[in-house]
Amino acid sequence: MKKFFTAVLIIFAFAIQGNTQELRCNVTVSARGIQGANQNLFRTMQSDLYEFMNNRKWTEHVYSYDEKIRCNILIRLDEQISADEFKGSIQVQLTRPIYNSSYTSTVLNIKDNDFHCKYVEFQPLEFNETSNRDNLTNIMAYYAYVILGFDYDTFSEEGGTEFFQKAQSIVNNSQNARERGWKAFESERNRYWLIENVMNKSYSSFRTCMYNYHRLGLDMMSERVEEGRANVANSLRDIQKVFRRRPSTYILQMFFDAKADELVNIFSKSYPDERNRVMAILNEVDPSNGSKYEKIAENEGL
């Protein structure tokens, strides 16, 4: 009898592991800008979105708890159009643990100002991959797949393609949506252009950079600092290729929004020749953060 219960427990444990979801996503909904609003509504919304992101299976892969992808979503609601319709922004952050260290690297830090949704308290959130019936779940699912795509890209070359394709399908299905954020003509930096840039073969060196920067660069630095740092430096040449092809590409802004401070920290501890090469690239491709990159030349770690 004891062996029977032991076997049942083992099977149960494997069943739980097999159904473990991929995301460890912290979701915050803030509606402080909406005067007189029922704050209980937004607390329920936050709870529902947390469940939607964390309790749904987004892939066919098996994850242990420690392997879950860590991300944060902050939704700021600034305008209440009707009893169940809201406008605001959504900020999405993805972090990645670095091999054999306690350090986590920011992979994504996106702010999307075209957040427009309907939400009815206690009504189940439904997502349909083939329609644009619910803009709220479309946005959340879109960013879930973007998070997965970028995370997988940092562990294997173009490993996130299947998830980027799913995000692109959501964009395609949303071309008739009345809400902003899905169409090319509405902005040069929105959900449409994010996924277009990532999937555009003309900018494929961006995805090469994401792999080389993280897997061959940061992951190597815990054991071979100089070699790993050199690989990070070399990966910036791929970013330079994208810049020289199209300087205003949205993914360039995304990259440096996530990486500018980290690059300063990495190369402030580098050799003069390497620092000079890196600064030359950074000042060309990201002049808006030039004052930050001056710290590299000072040879002072942050």
- pLDDT by residue (tens digit) across 152-162? 999 999 999 99
| Closest by CA position to 302, among listed 274, 273, 261 | 261
Q: Quick check: 209 pLDDT over 70?
A: yes
Predicted pLDDT of residue 13: 41
Q: Quick check: 140 pLDDT over 50?
A: yes
Predicted pLDDT of residue 233: 98
Question: What residues does each domain of the chain span?
Answer: 20-199, 206-297
Q: Which amino acid is at 209?
A: C
21 φ, ψ (degrees, to nearest 5): -75, 165
Q: Which amino acid is at 55?
A: N
- pLDDT by residue (tens digit) across 69-119? 999 999 999 999 999 999 999 999 999 999 999 999 999 999 999 999 999
Q: Quick check: 129 pLDDT over 70?
A: yes
HSE, side-chain direction, 13 A CA sphere, residue 189: 11
Give the residue-averaged pLDDT of 186-196: 97
Give the residue-averaged pLDDT of 106-135: 94
Q: How does residue 10 score in pLDDT terms, banded at 50, 70 and 90?
A: very low
DSSP label at residue 56? S
- pLDDT by residue (tens digit) across 218-229? 999 989 999 999
Query: How many angstroms separate the CA atoms of 197 and 100, rounded?
Result: 32
Q: List, as one string, the DSSP characters of 253-296.
A: HHHHHHHHHHHHHHHTTS-HHHHHHHHHHHHHH-GGGHHHHHHH
Q: Quick check: 133 pLDDT over 90?
A: no
- Torsion of the alpha carbons at 152, 157, 158 and 162, rounded to the nearest 10: -50
Q: Give how far Cα 271 sits from Cα of 130, 217, 225, 226, Å.
A: 52, 16, 12, 9
- Name the residue with tokens 């990070």: 232
Q: How does residue 66 score in pLDDT terms, banded at 50, 70 and 90?
A: confident
Q: How does residue 302 score in pLDDT terms, banded at 50, 70 and 90?
A: very low
112 φ, ψ (degrees, to nearest 5): -110, 115
Quote the mean pLDDT of the chain.
Answer: 91
Predicted pLDDT of residue 297: 85
Sequence-distant (≥ 6) Cβ neighbours of residue 111 within 8 angstroms: 89, 90, 91
- pLDDT by residue (tens digit) across 233-277? 999 999 999 999 999 999 999 999 999 999 999 999 899 999 999
Sequence-distant (≥ 6) Cβ neighbours of residue 54 within 8 angstroms: 21, 23, 24, 25
- pLDDT by residue (tens digit) across 20-51? 789 999 999 999 889 888 889 999 999 999 99
